[in-house]
Amino acid sequence: MNAELETIAQKMVSDGKGILAADESTSTIKKRFDAIGVESTEENRRDYRELLFRSDEAMKEYISGVILFDETLRQKAKDGTPLVSLIQQAGSIPGIKVDAGAKPMALFPGETITEGLDGLAGRLKEYYDLGARFAKWRAVIDIGAGIPTPGAVAANAHALARYAALCQEANIVPIVEPEVLMDGDHGIERCYEVTEYVLRVVFGELYQQRVALEGMVLKPNMVVPGKKARTQASVAQVAEQTVRVLKATVPAAVPGIAFLSGGQSDEDATAHLDAMVKLGNLPWKLTYSYGRALQAAPQKAWSGKAENVAAAQAAFTHRARMNSLAALGRWSAEQEAKKAA
């Protein structure tokens, strides 16, 4: 393995820093913009992401890397500076989403397979030349009646492993993201069971594809009940169950685990991360790779108006700082309350 991959992977999970997931597809960011009454034009998407990347304190102190969508990787700021350069100037690492999304899986009702392997080697070379040093591929695993099935889990795990191998061949660090969704009415025990199974299969496939674990970052879900579950879990339960499943399945060679927020509220995602770090005695770094949990507040504050840029940057910086404290095991609900007071 290229030593540079291990160096970048370690930097991605630096103490007190996490990854900003700003890789929403055009259709996804349109939904986000619709919610705040902003038209999803290329210029508005550029302006919004530029304000994030120009948030000096957040980017320099709390963000180790930024996952970008293809459009964003190629865009320039209003003054002509490539957005990639803004990220690099802040000391952060540009990354790129490379999957083509989850599509219905043939003969597996209710399950999906993530596409995008065709031509990926060529795209990775181009992305490297454009400045990307890590990539992301998301596999989606749903919990429901009779699902997930072994066939669907195996297919998604194999695709993740092939993607990761292609990334490392291109000197790009792969973020491996097997997401067990928190939709549905299942309890925390069922989420644990499925998450354990999925992670075991994924790491088996990574081994078969000769992926160097030292040069990757895992982006898993936390072990939480479904949104519609009658009984929700405490912060302590989520932390204990998540750390337990990771210790049972994730080799110590992996440099770090950057959690997805998966639809949790901003504060829940922060509190859960903090509680896990406080458990201590972990073989890998724990941090965040949040999208909505970092961006919902600044999007609302901005609402497409130039005069709101400073307020949006302040909101982004606050959320990034709270999660940085959580990644260090230093967050508390009192700190959140002070902000709200």
Residue 189: how many other CB atoms lie within 10 Å: 12
Give the 3-state DSSP-derived string for 196-235, with helices as H, strands as E and coil as C. Answer: HHHHHHHHHHHHHCCCCHHHCEECCCCCCCCCCCCCCCCH
Residue from 177, 179, 205, 285 carrying the catalytic annotation: 177
DSSP state, 290? Answer: E
Catalytic residue (one of 17, 97, 136, 219) = 219
- 84 and 73 Cβ atoms separated by less than 8 Å: yes
State how far the alpha carbon of 24 is from the alpha carbons of 40, 46, 50, 248, in Å.
Answer: 12, 12, 14, 32
The torsion defined by the Cα of 317, 323, 324 and 330, in degrees rounded to 10, comes to 130
Sign for the CA dihedral angle at 38, 221, 224, 201 comes to positive
The first and second tokens of residue 248, run together, are: 């049972």
3-state SS class at 100: coil
Residue 177 designated active-site:
yes
Active site residue 50: no
Counting beta carbons within 10 angstroms of the beta carbon of residue 7, is it exposed (0 to 12), middle (13 to 18) or buried (19 or more)? middle
DSSP-assigned states of every residue in 255-273: -EEEE--TT--HHHHHHHH
Tokens of 26: 């055009």
For residue 98, give both structure tokens.
């490379």
Residue located via tokens 């970008």 = 68
Which residues does the annotation mark as catalytic? Answer: 177, 219
